[in-house]
Every structure is written in structure tokens, then in C-alpha cells.
A and B are shown apart, each in its own frame.
Chain A
Amino acid sequence: MITGKIIIKTRFLLCSVLFFIATVAATVETGESRLALQEVMAKLSEISSSQANFKEIKTIEFLKKPLTSEGRLSYVAPDHILKETLKPHYEKFEIKGDFLHVSKENGESHEINLQNYPAIKAFAEAYRGVLGGNLKRLEQFYEVSFSGEIRHWIIVLAPKDDEMSEYIEKLVVEGNAGTVTKMITVETGGDNTEMNIIQVR
């Protein structure tokens, strides 16, 4: 009985030590990348408006070939994003404040309040958080991790919201200093959408 107790105690001690070491290590690592992340965010936040063209490649498991589309993107700080798909079908996707406005080629249009759709809201916040360099806002919705360096950085966003993580595993945003060059949406289940962004202005 006594031996048993001692073994349990030792194990517990060992576990605590390991845990402590792991925590310290993590802190050191995040500490460093944190600074870089903050630097990138500062650069991003300097930009008050931007225009770009995009090409999107959607890879879906049950489709023989990826779906591609292209169009224009524009951003005006702090929260106005316009995505116009020109090919293969026209679609306008506009987020302003709490509202998402979608209109299609055939004239169909919807306006939805993002508050009603937490998953879509989180998605919109990803765009807005990155483009506006607002780390605080991003962290409200995502676990944010950073790698790379200022010339070529990669930010990975893992959704905190359960409902959103049903759909989306992570968002990977790549960039160069204050410019976003690529956004990859990895869906739960493995399908992904890669959006390459070419800055116009």
C-alpha cells in the first residue's frame, strides 16, 4: 500500500515538472513569434484601403477537377470588404459592418445580419482582422499562430467557435509585410479553397 502511494506521488511530481517545462518552452516560443506577428499586424494596419484581383481554386473531393473563379477585391478600413466574382458567374459579396450583402447575376440578392450567422461572421472577421491588422479582433474568434518572417509570413487561424469549426478547420493567410498574397481556407474534411491575391494598388 505504502509503495503504491509513493509511486503515485512520484508520477504526479514528474508530470507536474514536465508540464511546467512545456509551458515555459511554449511561452518562450510564442513570445518570439508574437513580436513578429505584432510587427506584421502593425504594417497591415497602416493600409487604409486596397484594391486587388484574385484567382480562386476550389478543390473538392467529389469533383473531378477543381472549380476556378476570378474577380476583384477591395477593402476600405476598418470593415468594408467587397468581393466581386466575374468568372464564371457574376456574384457580388459585400460585407459592411454587421451586414453581408450577396447579389447574383440573375438579380437574386440577400442581405443577412452577420449576428444571425456566427460561422459566417467569424469568416468575415478573419478577412477584416487580417486586412485591418487587428490582432485583438482576430483573437476573439481564432487561435492565432504565426510563422515565417516579415518578407514572407504565414498566419494560421483556427476557429474558436464550435459551429464554425464544423465547417472550417483553419484559415492560412500568407503575405509580404503589409500585403496579403494568399488565403487558403481548409475545410473540415480536407477540401480547400486557395485564393491568390494580386495587389493592384
Chain B
Amino acid sequence: MKRAPLLLFIWVAVLLVCIYIIATRLSVSADLGQFLPPIETSDSTHSGMAQSVLNDLVQGGHNTLIMIALEGDNAEELASQSRQLVAQLEASQHFKQVKNGSKSVLPGKDSLIYSYRYLLSKNTNPETFSQPALKETFTQRLDDLQSAQGSIVKRYLRSDPTMETLSILNQWRGDTHLKKKFGVWFDQKGKSALILAEMNLTGYDIDQQEFLLNYLETTFESVRKQTDVTMIYSGPARFAVSTRNQIRAEIKWLSTIASLFIVLILAVAYRRIRLVLLSSLPLATALVVALAVSTTVFSSVHGITIAFGMTLIGVSIDYPVHSFSHWMSNESLSRSVQKIWPTLLLSVVTTCLGYLSLLLTDFSGLKQLGVFTIVGLISAAFVTRYVLPNLAGSSGVSLNVERCTQRLKHRRIIAPYIGLLVLLISIVLIWMIPSRWETNLSALSPLPEQARKVDQHLRDKLAVADLNHIALIQASDIQQLLELQESLEPGLLSLQKSGAIDSFESLHKYLPSFQQQQRRQASLPQSSELSTRIIKAQQDLPFQPGTFKQFVLDVSASKSLDPIDLDGLEKTIVGLKLSGLYLKNDIGYVGLIRFSNVTQPERLIEWAEQQKNSQIQYVNIRQLTETTLNRFRAEAMSRLMWGAGIIALFLLLALKPNRRFVSVLATLYSSILITLVVLNSLGEVLSLFHLLALVLVAGIGLDYSLFFSRPDHQLTSCCRTLHGIVVCMISTVSVFGILSFSSIPVLHAMGQTVALGVAISFVLSYWLARQPVIFEQEKL
């Protein structure tokens, strides 16, 4: 008894340290990419590129774009609200850019496009500035002045007679041209006014994103007043925020109901408030310690690790339950725990060994999950063993074992070979009803179908490209990337010409490389030379002498400009487009050439292979995600197989090759297989979450069969074992049964699989793993 205060003291101290670590150092990451395996392609540079793209795709976290549509009223009202909304959002500083097409498309003379026109335009070559070409240009402009677009031409004529500014705009505008009504963007049907906004975010911060979205909504409310106009919007931020909020809300009510259930079940089972409260201590301790250790080991803990980990170590609620059920009134809890400790420890260690296989994977998400769960389970076991007995008081749990004894007496014991037979049958069944595996990445997302539909709808309307066919180009810096892309241009144009693709988007279309810009600068004539040519060219034309003075000055100024770089161009009207055309990775920059309307993908593959530069890869994103997920499945499957093997080996060492070993193993494997068979016959499409849930089922099944097969020498003790397992089973099945009602795919998959698996494990272990020793003794 002297040890008691010391143990309690250590426990409290550990808890405090852990809480301190969590409070000061925990950083939760939401990068789903961590949870996916590295992409494998023909060579390593390629996989690096594709990996960055996929990560970016999956998380979309740094993408600050919001697509907005206003609907539900006449076009004039919608247009006016669109203008008001844009004006207010722009004034707020929360948004980098807000566009609805209402801004004058003509760049002013102070704009970057205007000052860099000779560096940005394709037309900058010696020919453009030759005397005959200039004469032709001037004559053409004279006609233009009298035509319908006279006023626009006049605005640029004196400084930009070749109209480079306008031709750059036309190049940039490309094929995607949104319809306008009342001066703002509308969809093709003219029913919704469209707006594109880019948020001003400082890093990946969901709270900030939520704040900005709320700001958007309240601003819209103030604009819409009493009208019927509704706003729909979407974008990565929306996804992030609503995912988090939905998970929060669901977890709140699900966990409330689940906790109530557990309290109720435990209260009925033990009829003592103290024990109900105490039974939560191992789990609570496990959570705190697991979180603290993960925080210390990894730089940031993944949100999914926490969510899954919590469910996986939820099994530790069983430890105190076993202890209490075995607590006889004539002894201390400490003594009862000691009695079941070998079985409990065996169960915990075996389960942990199963999770150990996760530690050997090469992706950090699963590693984290392994560490989290192992640490959690071990600490829960220790709290059950050393802390609970000191807090539980002295009177044991009295159970009415009369009926149970009768029932156990009349049960036939099944020989171990029946267990092997069941295992064989389940193997045949799983072979006959194969699993269907999820290959669509978006199905892993916790977003409801509806949100994804809205997003696609808005993307279509706003012609925001979605990634499907892309070519990736790895470069060490932006300039190298642009030069590479420029060298690819002729090939791309011929692909376009032949109809293999409709069009392509690439960074170099907007931003010429420094080399290219310098070539253009070099081709610009000296000002004295240009002046002479102009004087000659404007002979016989009615232009006043000196009309093109500003043109000469601008050309001369362009010669000495520092070439424009990415930062410069991002401030212009194409800024929004640029962000989707490149991304950074460890090696440098990855350029994305996006193809639209790919009719002959094989030509693209051929084209990519022909390029001498091996830094280019054509990617079909859909295929890529499919193969990635398939690889993930294979990886996870093989881990589970390894886990199963390790468990078998360990049990063999711990139990020796006897009847108990055979029945425990047969129960464990058959219950997993049968669970899979049931899921398959229900038509469930299996994903990562089902696999992880099966790991949990294995842990619980192991626990049940080890306890059922304990060598007990007293009938009452045997009944107490049954009581404990029944309480565990009812609480687990009801908690996960509740989870299966969740609308979040992850929780639904977990809940369904675990509830089903645990029920099956219980039946099988009760039936197959029962230890007949006592009856044989009684018969004696």
C-alpha cells in the first residue's frame, strides 16, 4: 500500500507534463497528402513532380480562390448587386483581387502591361519597326480612327501605334470568354452573375479562412437587403472550413450520444457511479499521452491521426471493464487486475505488434497512427493496472452468476478443427465475393456529394480549368522553366493544329523568360533610328510632326527596362491565372501545362516521350489517382498481412502450439474475413478507412478470444469473463453503430465496419475460443 501514493503521484505528474507539451507544442496539420503513399512513376524526378501536384490537388490549401455566383433575380438586379459586392469586398483589404468583369479591360498607361508591352508581346521583332511596316501601321490607324473603335485606337495611338497593349490583352484573354450582361460576368444562360475572388491569406489557417468566408456572407447580406438574390460559392477554403465544421458538429452529437450510451451500459453493468467514472480514466490518459508523444516525435500531428487514433485507442475502455467484471467482493481490485493481467498484457502486446507493421511504411500518416495507437494502448493498460486499483475503493463487484453458470455448463465445446474449418470457409467466401476498392480520390474526401457538385458547377460556369490532362515540367528555377516551355511551344502548337488538343495553358504564354525578353529588347531600334523611320513613314500622311514622340520615348525606355518576373506579373490582371500554372517543390518549380479538350491522349504521351528533355511528363490525373490509390491499397494490405503474421508468430511464442493458440488465431482471422465478406455482399466500396477499421476489429477480436480462452479454474471467474466481454461488446457495438449513421464517409465506414466486425468477433470467439478446462475439471 505504500506504493499507492507514489504511483498516483507519478501518474498525475506524467499527465501534467503531457498536457503541457500538448498545450505548448501541438500543431495539427491537415495535409491529406501525408496520408497518401508517394507516387511511383517511371523515374524518380517524375514521381517527385507528380507528388507535388497531387498533394496540391488533394489539399488545395494554398489555393485562395473563391468562385461566387449570385442567382434568383432579374439580370439587372444581379448585376447591380455584383458590382456592390465587389466594391465592398475590394475595399475591405481581406481580398487580394475581386473580379466580376466590370472593370475597364483597357489597361491604363500606368499599368505594368502597358509599360512592359514590348517585352511581353510576341510581335516585338525588327520587322515590326521597319519603315514600310510602320507606314502600313500608320495608314491602318488612320482608317481605324474613323471607324467604330476610333476612340479606343486614339487613346493608344500616339504612344503605342502598333497596338501592342491590346494585342497582349487579346492573347491573354484566350478562348475563355465569359458572357457579360449589364457590364458584369454572367453564365451562358444569363441566370447567374459570376464573381472570382482571391483571398488575402497568411498561410494555411482555417480560422482565418472561416473569418473571410463569414465576412463574404455578411457583406452579401448587406448588399442583398430584402431581395430574393441568393449567393452560392465554392473553393478550397470553403471545403476546408465546411469539412472542419461538419466534422466538428457531427463528432459533437455522435460523441454525446455515444458517451451517454457507454455511461448507461456501465451503470447497468456495475451499478456504481464511481466505477463508471473510473472506467474513463485509462482512455483519457491514453489520449493525452498518445497526443503528447506524437507531438514530440513528429513535427506536426495530422488531423486524421488524431481522429483515427482516438477511435483506435477507444478499445482501451475494455481494460477497466475486464478488471471490474473480475473484481470479486472478497478481494481488492489490485488482486483481480493481477489475476487477469497476463491475458490483458498479452492482448495489448499482440495488438501493439499488429500496429507495429504500420511503423514500417514509408508514409508519415500511417506511421503517426502507429505511434499514437501503440503509446495510447500501453498507457491505458498501465493506468488500468497501477492507477485504477488505488482509486476504486475496497468493495468489489458482486454479480449474479447463477444463470450464466447454467448456460455455460450446457454449452458444447467445439473442437479446434471446427475453428480451422470456419477459417477455411471464410477464405473461400472472400475469394468468391471479391472486394470493390475505391479508386476515386474525391470519395475519400469527407465532403458531402452536394458540396462537390456545387464546386464543379461553378468551375464549369467560370471556366476555371479543372486538372485532368496536364504535362509537368520540372525546373530548378522559374527562368529555366520558362525557357523549357518556350522551347516546347512549336510542338504544342502543332498538337493544337492537328486537333489532338483544343488549346493549352502554360506559364510562358503570359510571362516570357528573361532571355526572351532580352532578345526582344535587343530587337528594338535605337531612338534616333526609329525617329528617322517614323518621319519617313508618316510622309504623305496627315499626322502632325511629333505625333509619335511618346512612341519613340517608350521604345527607348523599354530597351533599358529590367525584365519582368513572376512577382511583377502576379500583380496584373492575369495574376489569378498564373497561380494555377506552376507550383514549388523541393527541387525548384514545376510547370503545369494544362490541356483542354484532349481528343487523342496517346498523341500527348507520344509528344512527351519525344521530348529530349526528360524533365517532362504527361499526366492523366484521373489515372494517376487511381494507380496511387491502388498502390496504397496494396501497401496497406501487405502491412496488414505482415501484422497478421507477426501476431501469429508472437502468439505461438506466448501460448505454445496448443488448442488455445489454434482457436484464438482461427477466431481472429475468420472474424476479419467474414466482416469483409459481409461488407462485400452489402456492396460497400472499400477504402483506406475500412482497412484501418479492420485493424481495430482485429485488436478487439484478439482481446475477446484471449479472454474467452483464459485458463480459468473457477466457474464464477469464467462467468465474470463472459460478463466483462459482453459489456465490452455491447458498448463497442453501440458506439460504432452510432458512428455508422454519420454522413461523413470516414466515420460511416469506420462505424459500420467496426460494429459489424466486433459483433462477428464476439460470436466467433464465444463459439470457437471457449476454454473447456473447467468443465473437464468439474467432471472429474
A, B co-complexed: yes
A interface, CB within 8 angstroms of B: 56, 58, 60-65, 67, 69, 85, 88-89, 91, 93, 100, 102, 104, 113, 115-116, 118-120, 163, 166-168, 187, 191
Min Cβ gap A90→B in Å is: 11
Residues of B176-216 at the interface with A, using a CB-CB cut-off of 8 Å, are 179-183
Q: Is the CB of B104 within 8 A of A163?
A: yes
Given contacts A58-B146, A167-B155, 10 further A-B contacts (CB under 8 A): A63-B542, A67-B542, A91-B147, A102-B148, A113-B179, A116-B179, A167-B151, A168-B151, A187-B154, A191-B154
Taking CB as reference atom, which chain B residue is nearest A168? B151
Contact for B143 among A89, A102, A167, CB less than 8 A? A89
Q: Does B142 contact A (CB under 8 A)?
A: yes
Min Cβ gap B30→A in Å is: 41
B interface, CB within 8 angstroms of A: 104, 142-143, 145-151, 154-155, 157-158, 179-183, 542-544, 547
Chain B residues positioned under 8 Å from A104 (CB to CB): 147
Q: Is the CB of B145 within 8 A of A60?
A: yes
- The 6 lowest CB-CB distance pairs between A and B, nearest first, are A116-B180, A62-B547, A64-B542, A118-B183, A102-B148, A167-B151
Chain A residues positioned under 8 Å from B543 (CB to CB): 62-64
Bound-complex Cα distance A124 to B382 (A): 85
Chain A residues positioned under 8 Å from B179 (CB to CB): 113, 116
Chain A residues positioned under 8 Å from B182 (CB to CB): 115
Q: With contacts A62-B543, A102-B148, A163-B104 known, is A67 near B180, CB below 8 A?
A: no
Listed A/B pairs (9) with beta-carbon separation below 8 Å: A62-B157, A62-B158, A64-B543, A67-B142, A113-B179, A113-B180, A115-B181, A116-B183, A163-B104
Taking CB as reference atom, which chain A residue is nearest B177? A116
Bound-complex Cα distance A129 to B181 (A): 20
Bound-complex Cα distance A88 to B543 (A): 17
Taking CB as reference atom, which chain A residue is nearest B75? A115
Chain B residues positioned under 8 Å from A93 (CB to CB): 148
Taking CB as reference atom, which chain B residue is nearest A62? B547
Chain A residues positioned under 8 Å from B154 (CB to CB): 60, 187, 191
Min Cβ gap B539→A in Å is: 12
Taking CB as reference atom, which chain A residue is nearest B181? A115
Bound-complex Cα distance A63 to B157 (A): 12
Chain A residues positioned under 8 Å from B142 (CB to CB): 67
Bound-complex Cα distance A115 to B149 (A): 16
Min Cβ gap A168→B in Å is: 7
Min Cβ gap A119→B in Å is: 8
Chain A residues positioned under 8 Å from B183 (CB to CB): 115-116, 118
Chain B residues positioned under 8 Å from A166 (CB to CB): 104
Bound-complex Cα distance A69 to B142 (A): 12
Min Cβ gap A72→B in Å is: 16
Q: With contacts A63-B543, A63-B544, A113-B179 known, is A69 near B146, CB below 8 A?
A: yes
Min Cβ gap B235→A in Å is: 26
Contact for A85 among B104, B145, B146, B155, CB less than 8 A? B146
Q: With contacts A115-B181, A115-B183, A118-B183 known, is A67 near B145, CB below 8 A?
A: yes
Counting chain A CB atoms within 10 Å of each CB, which of B151, B155, B543 scores highest? Answer: B151
Q: Is the CB of A100 within 8 A of B542?
A: no
Contact for B544 among A56, A64, A88, CB less than 8 A? A64
Min Cβ gap A165→B in Å is: 12
Taking CB as reference atom, which chain A residue is nearest B102? A118
Taking CB as reference atom, which chain A residue is nearest B190? A115
Taking CB as reference atom, which chain B residue is nearest A104? B147
